[in-house]
Structure 1
Amino acid sequence: MPKLSRHNNMDLKTIQELQGKVEEILQLMGVSYITPEVSFGDSEAVSVELTVSEDSEEGAGIIIGNHGETLLALEYIVALILNSGSEGEWRRVEVDIDGYRKRREQELSELAHRMAQKALESHQEIHLKPMSPADRRIVHTNLSKITGITTESDGQGRSRHIVIKPE
């Protein structure tokens, strides 16, 4: 049985209900080989850690999707379920599977630094490919610490991307 914990204004019943709903979503997606664990991290966010069964021949790819799009969609659905009918503050939800988010953050950080170096050396703007808001936030945060570089998001909707500019 997955761990369940109590935190702030949420009681054990609410956590158990959310756990059940996430399990139901995974069943409907046909990924019963993935087990959710609902808990609370150091932040105010509710954490849903998904683990792929060791004996499964399937992988985490179906949940991650293209550059994490399916994972973000699942996160949004779980947040809607958690916050539906609740009054007051919106409780944030973070869904991860087998450490994907940490790996993605590392990849984006490395990309951002390579492209910033390229912008500094060439004295030209660098346009990155379109990214999700979460991915853009990671890049902006990483590059905000570099002297001589500014970043901005450009475009709309699914075409929104980051422009790295040398100062």
Structure 2
Amino acid sequence: MNSTLRLIFLFVFFLLLQVLILNNILFLGYVNPYIYIAFIFLYPMKENRFSVLLVAFLLGICIDAFTNSGGIHTFATVLIAYIRLFFFKTIFKKTESDYLLFSLRHESFDKVFNYVTILTLIHHFILFSLINFSFYNFYNVIINTLLSSVFTLVLYFLGSFIFRKKLT
């Protein structure tokens, strides 16, 4: 499948999965998975920084439009799209020449786990901080961040395991 068509399909898939199914899940009053951020993890590193920021903005604004959340998803998604390069270089120890051949499924599980977990925690912390927008609810921010991050990570790694193509 063409790379651009694959990215469009993933964009629409994660958007619809989030707004039609996962936004309707609220387990124990705290846990709501935000799996749409997996699109940012899967977006190719070889693309320039502007394109990932633009796509992250579009993804976030679409989620905000469906959830009527006033831009908080957009801010959190653009932020992790912006900082992903730093964590990519730090965790995977790759240089710019390695961007063309990089794929998460070719990396060791511990590095992928660290990369995805850090970006997920940052996204969720920013998201729930903006939702609560008060230090009086800091405990709720931490609980929401941790529980939703665990649920999101379980869904992400379960999905990546199920949909992984067999490498020959």
Higher helix share: 2
Higher relative contact order (CA 8 A, sep 6+): 2
Higher strand share: 1
Q: Give yes or no for TM over 0.5.
A: no
Q: What is the TM-score of this pair, normalised by structure 1?
A: 0.31
